[in-house]
Amino acid sequence: MTTTPTTFELEIDKFGRVLIPKKVREALNLRAGSKLKADLSGTALTLEAEAPRYEIRYSEGGWPVVHFLDAQPWPEDEDPIKACRDERTAELLKTW
């Protein structure tokens, strides 16, 4: 896992959103739709990433392979194959 700074400053945009830096998202394996647990204690807001259910690795031949990290039932709203396909499509479109 990539080493990330433990303290950094974030800015809230006019819509109330906070952008998590790319290196932090990559280190925590966060993608669009990832869930975070928020804990408010006084003036401190702590965000905690859920443990991923799967991770996508690539075989020596370059094929994506889904590795399940736990034995929990598969959630209906989560599709690792579609996530991998969408990620690859986005990468390919950047080159056009």
Structural domain that includes position 75: 54-94
Single pTM value for the model: 0.50
What is the reported pLDDT for 1? Answer: 47
**pLDDT tens digits along 24-35:** 888 787 888 888
What separation in angstroms does the CA of 46 have from each of 36, 39, 64, 87, 96?
Answer: 10, 5, 33, 28, 39
Instruction: Specify whether 46 is located in the same domain as 60.
Output: no
Instruction: Specify whether 44 is located in the same domain as 62.
Output: no
Sequence-separated (6 or more) residues with CB below 8 Å from residue 82? none
Instruction: Specify whether 3 is located in the same domain as 45.
Output: yes
What is the reported pLDDT for 16? Answer: 93
Instruction: Specify whether 44 is located in the same domain as 4.
Output: yes
Instruction: Specify whether 60 is located in the same domain as 46.
Output: no
Instruction: Specify whether 61 is located in the same domain as 26.
Output: no
Burial of 67 (0-12, 13-18, 19+ CB in 10 A): exposed
Domain tally, the chain: 2
**pLDDT tens digits along 33-76:** 888 999 999 999 999 987 777 778 888 998 988 877 776 666 67
